[in-house]
A = this chain, B = another copy of it.
Amino acid sequence: MQRVHKATGELMIVDHGWLASCTLLPDGSRQIIQLHLPGDLIGLANVAYTEAAITLVALTDAKVCPFPRNALGKLFDVHPRLAGLFFALAVVENSALADRLVSVGRTSARARIAALLLDTGARLRVLNRSSPDNFAFPLTQEEIGDATGLTAVHVNRMIRQLEEARLIARGDGRVHLLDEPGLRKLAAFEDRYEKLSLGWLPPSR
């Protein structure tokens, strides 16, 4: 498997596979800003800038479909409802980033990992309609660390603690959320994907 590292200023939609947008720091460390699952729109943060602000990393084999940035202007002109949806996407991404910031800024290592798992689970739920408290989770522990602001070693220790506490189970690249209420309490997690309100959007033409 080839892990494509690519800096880009374009918009893309994930066809299949998992990716992550991240920032690389001068000291060599890395922060994963967000995970991209199939169906996600990637690169919103780039739209308003001349140079790519983020780096894209494929976490698994993945395929993305480009969405030309210069089509956006016309889209806003001709399809107000679609434009509104793009806006809504940006706004939802905003909340997601805010939640991550809270998690990384003010919660323990355990809680951050729990939040990452819960969030991923909730997003998969939106995707699949099924209710998988048991799902494939292809991140390495180092990548989990880059997403949560921790070191790989510490991620390992915390994951095992979550296991020992019977909050999660693992195996074969999969995660099982054994005690979701317990995890939610630990992570101070709130599921925003349930509370969308898009009634303000203009009607389609």
Q: Known: A53-B95, A101-B101. Contact between A30 and B106, CB under 8 A?
A: yes
Binary contact readout A97-110 vs B (1 if CB under 8 angstroms, 0 otherwise): 11111101111000
Docked Cα-Cα span, A6 to B48, in Å, equals: 31
Sort chain A's interface into a size bin.
35 or more
- Does A196 count as interface, using CB distance less than 8 angstroms? yes
A94 touching B97 by the CB < 8 A rule?
yes
Binds B, one of A74-82, A123-131, A159-167: A74-82
> A88 CA to B86 CA in the complex, in Å?
11
Closest to A72 in B: B200
Contact A91 B196 (CB under 8 A): no
Within 8 Å CB of A53, what residues of B?
95, 98, 192
Rounded to whole Å, the gap between the CB of A58 and the closest CB of chain B is 19
Number of identical protomers: 2
Q: Shortest Cβ distance from A192 into chain B, in angstroms? A: 7
Residue numbers of A with Cβ under 8 A of B are 23, 25-27, 29-31, 33, 44-45, 47-51, 53-54, 69-70, 72-74, 76-77, 80-81, 83-84, 86-88, 90-95, 97-102, 104-107, 148-149, 188, 192, 195-198, 200-202
> Which of B49, B90, B106 interacts with A87 by CB under 8 Å?
B90
> Which residue of B is nearest A185, CB measured?
B26
Residue of B nearest to A51 (CB): B195
- Expressed in whole angstroms, the Cα–Cα distance for A60 and B44 within the complex equals 33
Which residues of chain B are near A101, meaning CB under 8 Å? 31, 33, 97, 100-101, 104
CB contacts (< 8 Å) of A83 on chain B: these are 76, 80, 83-84, 87
